[in-house]
Chains A and B, each alone.
Chain A
Amino acid sequence: MRASVNRPPTPDVGDTQEKQPTLEEIINIKFIESGEKERLMELLRERLIECGWKDEMKALCRAFVKKKGRNNVTVDDLVHLITPKGRASIPDSIKAELLQRIRTFLVSAAL
């Protein structure tokens, strides 16, 4: 009998029961539940606005929109436009500050 649909084999019951959440997932949950992720997001947002990073990204977007025509732009376009430049142009001090706080959190979460 030919398989009419390409699909991966159904996982055995044994498999799913033994799967542990990864360390990353555990930390992520703690991160969110404690509210630290929210706080750090707000902190990062504020810092990026202060240093003009957000304005630079918005300028990039506007230039792109002007070139392409405002009704032909998708969110995906803009995300792909901003991501490489955005990640590269983060000021070191801000990155260091956030990394420090995240590390502190990891330590305090007793990992």
Chain B
Amino acid sequence: MSVPNEDKMASHAQLSSHFFGDLLDSIIVDVASECHRIARLGLDRNLEEEEEELKLSAQARERVADPNNSGEANSKYVVDIFGQTHPPIASDIFECMNCHRPIMAGRFAPHLEKCMGKGRKARLKGTRSSTAAQNRHSRGSPVSTYPPYPNSTSTNQLSNGTSGVAGEEYSNGTFPES
């Protein structure tokens, strides 16, 4: 019974090799097709640009080695290693998530201060009704003090007894000074 088994194993080995070859051929065709696609669509950016890159890198090296451009000379516009310049104030424009106005990125922090923070106008944003009273409070108590009434959650402006109204206005958390 050993001879037929050997035959079987030999034919198995042959079949296995054959199938393996099949799988491999399919994969080779896939790889070739993918490379062909990349070549024809020009998706391979490095192909002809290597010479250009060499030239650009040589230029950049010259610029760096040049004693005239020592970084501080171009005071406002510093050139970084990629040859890019950045304006001193970030100039991207986007929408403020609080007041929905278009704001320049470099001016965003001061804007936020006014929009939702320490600025006088910010506090007035939600309290049109008691504007006059708030004005009096803000001028009279610049230091944080304990409110005399236990039911108020925010502090500074509530020392004069209008705590009931003011507490409600700010309890939603827009007033960060607590």
- Residues of chain A touching chain B, judged by Cβ–Cβ distance below 8 Å, are 23-24, 27-28, 31, 37, 40-41, 44-45, 48, 54, 57-58, 61-62, 65-66, 70-71, 73-75, 78-79, 81-83, 86-87, 90, 95, 98-99, 102-103, 106-107, 111
Q: How close is A21's CB to chain B, nearest CB, in angstroms?
A: 14
Q: How close is B87's CB to chain A, nearest CB, in angstroms?
A: 39
Q: Is the interface of A mostly helix, strand, loop or mixed?
A: helix
B window 1-31: CB within 8 A of A: 12-13, 15-21, 23-31
Complex Cα distance, B36 from A107, in Å, reads 39
A103 neighbours in B (Cβ, 8 Å): 12-13, 16
Count of inter-chain pairs, beta carbons less than 8 A: 94
Further pairs besides A37-B19, A41-B23, A79-B29: 8, Cβ < 8 Å: A44-B23, A57-B35, A61-B39, A62-B39, A78-B33, A82-B32, A102-B20, A106-B12
CB <8 Å contact, B44 and A62:
yes
Complex Cα distance, B23 from A41, in Å, reads 6
B18 neighbours in A (Cβ, 8 Å): 24
Q: How close is B10's CB to chain A, nearest CB, in angstroms?
A: 12
A27 neighbours in B (Cβ, 8 Å): 15, 19
CB <8 Å contact, A95 and B33:
no
Complex Cα distance, B40 from A87, in Å, reads 25
B33 neighbours in A (Cβ, 8 Å): 75, 78
Query: Which residue in chain A gives the minimum CB-CB distance to B19?
Result: A102
Query: Which residue in chain B gives the minimum CB-CB distance to A65?
Result: B39
Contact among B17, B32, B48 with A99 in the assembled complex (CB-CB below 8 Å): B17
Question: Chain B, 40-67, contact with A by CB distance < 8 Å: what is the 0/1 string?
Answer: 1010100110000000000000000000
A-B residue pairs in contact (CB < 8 Å), sample of 12: A28-B19, A62-B35, A65-B35, A65-B47, A70-B39, A70-B47, A79-B32, A82-B31, A86-B31, A87-B28, A99-B16, A102-B19
CB <8 Å contact, A82 and B28:
yes
Chain B interface size, under 10 / 10 to 19 / 20 to 34 / 35 or more? 20 to 34
B27 neighbours in A (Cβ, 8 Å): 41, 44-45, 48
CB <8 Å contact, A86 and B47:
no
CB <8 Å contact, A78 and B32:
yes
Complex Cα distance, B36 from A82, in Å, reads 12
Complex Cα distance, B21 from A109, in Å, reads 20
Complex Cα distance, B39 from A111, in Å, reads 45
Complex Cα distance, B21 from A95, in Å, reads 10
B23 neighbours in A (Cβ, 8 Å): 37, 40-41, 44, 98
Most-contacted residue by chain A among B24, B29, B44 (CB, 10 A):
B24
